[in-house]
Amino acid sequence: MSQDWMIDVLADIRQYARSNRFPALTEILDDAIIVAAAELRERGEICSVVEDDVIETGKLHRGVDDH
C-alpha cells in the first residue's frame, strides 16, 4: 500500500506555514518531507520518481504544493 498521502499532508502543512510566514516551520517541514520520502522509499512504499521530485524541487509531481 502506498503511503504517498503522508507526503501530501506534510506538503499541505508546509504550504500553510509558508503562506502564513512561519519560515522556521517551513524549513523543518521541507526536511520532514525529504526524510519521509527517503524512509518510504526504503520500505518500498513510494515511487522513486516521486522521491526524486520531492528532493529536487521540494514539490510533489501532483501539484499538492500549488494549492
From first to last of the 67 residues of the chain, give the pLDDT tens digit.
567 788 999 999 999 999 999 999 999 999 999 999 888 888 887 655 555 556 555 555 444 444 3
Q: What three-state secondary structure class fits 12?
A: helix
Residue 10's nearest CA partner among 57, 54, 56 is: 54
Length of the chain counted residue by residue: 67
Q: What are the grid coordinates assigned to 12, written together?
A: 499541505
Query: How many whole angstroms from its chain centre is CA 63?
Result: 11
What pLDDT score does 61 carry?
A: 44
